Amino acid sequence: MFMKKLLLAIVVFLSGCSMEPKYLTEFYTGTLDEVTKAVITDGSSGYRKTISDQKEIKELMNRMQNVTFIQEENQEDRSGFRYAITFFEGEIQTFQFTINEVDGTYYQTEPDLYPLIDDFYKKLPEEEEAIFH
């Protein structure tokens, strides 16, 4: 009897751990329309580009709006990242994530977010700022 209750408790607990696919809007607690600045950091080169033009911010949001974040089964710690994106409203940082990790949870994306961000980053003006030494 104890084993059945324990098994039931584990099943209930695991079912509460949502592995449902999510969209960016489900992670961001604010309103994406209120983002006034975005910073994209290239983890490979150590450079970052800042976007404050509202047209470019809208284009970035449009590229990401239909991307589905699917939680990975393997949640072991990893090092490094390809791209990190930080949102600001005014001068206040409101959200930061990498293309495969949000709030300490690892995801794969569908479609793959890397080529979408990589293409966008490379098309931005060459005003890069080095952040790694």
Per-residue model confidence (pLDDT) at position 12: 39
Q: Give pLDDT tens digits for 35-52.
A: 999 999 999 999 999 999
Q: Which CATH number fits domain 19-130: 2.60.40, 2.40.50, 3.40.630, 2.50.20?
A: 2.60.40
Which band of pLDDT confidence, cut at 50, 70 and 90, is reported for residue 119?
very high
Per-residue model confidence (pLDDT) at position 18: 58
Task: Select the more confidently predicted residue: 71 or 18.
Answer: 71
Question: Distance between CA atoms of 20 and 110, rounded to whole angstroms?
Answer: 13
Mean pLDDT, to the nearest integer, of 99-116?
A: 96
Q: What is the dihedral of CA 132, 87, 39, 46, to 10 degrees?
A: 20
What are the backbone angles phi and psi of residue 32, rounded to the nearest 5°?
A: -60, -25
Per-residue model confidence (pLDDT) at position 38: 97
Per-residue model confidence (pLDDT) at position 132: 59
Question: Distance between CA atoms of 38 and 89, rounded to whole angstroms?
Answer: 9
pTM of the full structure: 0.81
- Peptide bond between residue 21 and the one before it cis (omega within 30 degrees of 0): no
